[in-house]
């Protein structure tokens, strides 16, 4: 069995950082990262990007050395991804903040509104309903992070958490300030009927979103990075897979549309619009990757909205 010699160069300066002798041909990039880490302890595996070309894409941890287009002396290029943080920690931080912030506005803790309103309660029942819906949404997200989601990537750059938290926490505080404001007025044109319809939309989409997350979880065995085409299951909420590649985003959009209708609050509408734009970008990217990876991918599916987008 022939062995490989592996040299790792800095992607920017082309300086040699590491030379590995007698590497097994069936060694994976993940194992090579661990070998590299032994000589450079400051760069743990999660923050390493190993590439065939200085400006190319990062190789996957499961890529096998002998299956790569390299000779017996393989040259790879290293780029530091920066300090990393686990996705679980990211999501718990992102979702825990909005939950706590909203409740602070709901209970009208001091220094938010005028002192005479400290720890008072709104007279509008839709305000209490909105708090329950908002809290339910983020509690669901937290529980899904802990018990449902399986992440294909274990970490993300630490710097991203500040951007993400600014988005989620900032919007939550902005929405909560107006919905729980002492001068807030609930929907008046259609009144209670509008709120009830909005609640049905919100709850329907929350159940749908959870159903999709369960279906996606069941596609990937524990510890596996295998990707499969998601198909509808016996659960009617998953039948939307017939028409949409990312129905979890479709249901998420529906939930926030319902919440907007329920509260009739401009900041909520703005948050829904911004979220829709971002989810559309993610959905289109995932849809393209499905089409590229699976030749038999269902042609009728749209990224996020059936037959539209």
Helix intervals (H) in 148-265: 159-179, 191-219, 247-263
Residues 258, 202 contacting (CB under 8 angstroms): yes
Total-model pTM: 0.86
The region, left, alpha or beta by phi > 0 then psi within -120 to 50, assigned to residue 230 is beta
Domains of the chain: 4-82 (3.10.20.90), 85-293 (no CATH)
CA distances, 104 to each of 118, 134, 140, 265 (Å): 11, 13, 19, 18
Q: What are phi and psi of 113, to 5 degrees?
A: -115, -175
Two tokens, residue 119:
């720890």
pLDDT at position 224 is 67
Provide the pLDDT for residue 3. Answer: 81
Write down the pLDDT at residue 59. Answer: 86
> Residue-wise pLDDT tens for the chain (309 aa)?
578 888 988 888 888 898 888 888 888 888 889 988 988 988 888 888 889 888 888 888 888 888 888 888 888 999 988 888 888 888 999 999 999 999 999 999 999 999 999 999 999 999 999 999 999 999 999 999 999 988 766 788 888 889 889 999 999 999 999 999 999 999 877 889 999 999 999 999 999 999 999 999 988 777 666 788 999 999 999 999 999 999 999 999 999 999 999 999 999 999 999 999 999 999 999 999 999 989 999 999 999 999 988
| Element (DSSP H or E) covering residue 184 | none
């Amino acid at each position: 069995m022939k062995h490989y010699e592996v040299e790792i160069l800095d992607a920017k300066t082309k300086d040699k950082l590491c030379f590995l002798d007698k590497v097994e041909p069936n060694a994976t990039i993940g194992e090579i990262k661990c070998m590299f880490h032994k000589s450079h302890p400051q760069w743990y595996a999660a923050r390493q990007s190993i590439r065939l070309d200085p400006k190319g894409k990062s190789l996957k941890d499961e890529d096998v050395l002998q299956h790569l287009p390299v000779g017996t002396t393989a040259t790879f290029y290293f780029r530091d991804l920066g300090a990393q943080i686990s996705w679980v920690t990211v999501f718990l931080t992102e979702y825990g903040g909005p939950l706590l912030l909203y409740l602070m506005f709901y209970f009208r803790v001091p220094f938010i509104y005028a002192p005479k309103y400290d720890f008072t309660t709104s007279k509008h029942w839709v305000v209490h309903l909105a708090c329950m819906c908002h809290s339910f949404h983020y509690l669901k997200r937290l529980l899904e992070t802990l018990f449902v989601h399986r992440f294909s990537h274990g970490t993300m750059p630490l710097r991203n958490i500040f951007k993400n938290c600014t988005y989620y926490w900032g919007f939550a505080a902005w929405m909560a300030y107006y919905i729980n404001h002492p001068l807030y007025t609930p929907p008046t044109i259609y009144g209670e009927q509008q709120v009830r319809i909005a609640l049905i939309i919100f709850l329907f989409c929350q159940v749908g979103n959870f159903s999709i997350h369960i279906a996606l979880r069941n596609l990937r065995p524990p510890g596996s990075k295998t990707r499969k085409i998601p198909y509808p299951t016996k659960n009617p909420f998953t039948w939307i897979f017939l028409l949409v590649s990312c129905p979890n985003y479709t249901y998420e959009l529906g939930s926030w549309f319902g919440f907007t209708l329920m509260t009739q609050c401009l900041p909520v509408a703005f948050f829904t619009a911004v979220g829709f734009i971002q989810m559309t970008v993610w959905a289109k990217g995932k849809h393209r990757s499905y089409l590229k990876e699976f030749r038999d991918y269902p042609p009728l599916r749209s990224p996020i909205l059936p037959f539209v987008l």
